[in-house]
Amino acid sequence: MKHLADVDWSAWRARDPATLVFVFREDEILLINKKTGLGKGKVNAPGGKVDPGETPEAAAVRECREELHITVRNLEYCGEHRFQFVDGYSIHVWVYRTRDFDGEPTESLEAEPLWTRMDEIPFDAMWEDDKYWLPMLVRGERFQTRWIFDGDRMLDYQIEGDGNIASWGKLVVPGINGARS
């Protein structure tokens, strides 16, 4: 399994449902150094698995509380990712953004908070796919994606637009969206 066409997406079901939450403050975005689980050692956003009986939005709020000791509210749905790994693992991720939160992001056993300027997002330390869709989230473009990964390496992908929400700025990624390295 190396290509999207190798997967019967109409019958595909993820092993794990999960969430990501991007918290914004002025010209900064709250990222984390992930200390445990899938993506350990990478820079990501807070989030994690949806518990049985829990909605993705409730899981997003809970995960921010557990990982960073903040309470997010007024989450805005941005899109969904469907990740299939060649080893058989799969994960369906609901993505949200917000500017509304209470508390000071604080390090936990799971994550170290990183307030990051929008023009300094460390894409080289993140999952390879992030540079393709995170600019869409910032611009207010909803998305539906499918990804094939072999470990950390992205093999194939598809991104479809899924409507628009308010733009929160512009994010230029070298080598992507017409930018030069």
Kindly report, residue by residue over 79-135, the tens digit of the pLDDT: 999 999 999 999 999 999 999 999 999 999 999 999 999 999 999 999 999 999 999
Distance between CA atoms of 13 and 32, rounded to whole angstroms?
A: 28
The H or E element containing residue 94 is strand 90-98
Could you tell me if 34 and 42 are in contact, meaning their C-beta atoms sit under 8 angstroms apart? Answer: yes
pTM score, whole prediction: 0.94
**pLDDT for position 141:** 95
Query: What average pLDDT does the structure give for the chain?
Result: 94
DSSP class of 138: H
Question: Could you read off the pLDDT of 2-42 as tens digits, one per residue?
Answer: 999 999 999 999 999 999 999 999 999 999 999 999 999 99
Task: Please give the DSSP secondary-structure letter assigned to residue 50.
Answer: P
- Residue owning tokens 């207010």: 140
In angstroms, the CA 48 to CA 66 distance is 10
Contacts of 47 (CB under 8 A, 6+ apart): 18, 19, 20, 21, 60, 63, 64, 67, 93
Residue 12 main-chain phi, psi, to 5 deg: -65, 135
Q: pLDDT class for 177, splitting at 50, 70, 90?
A: low
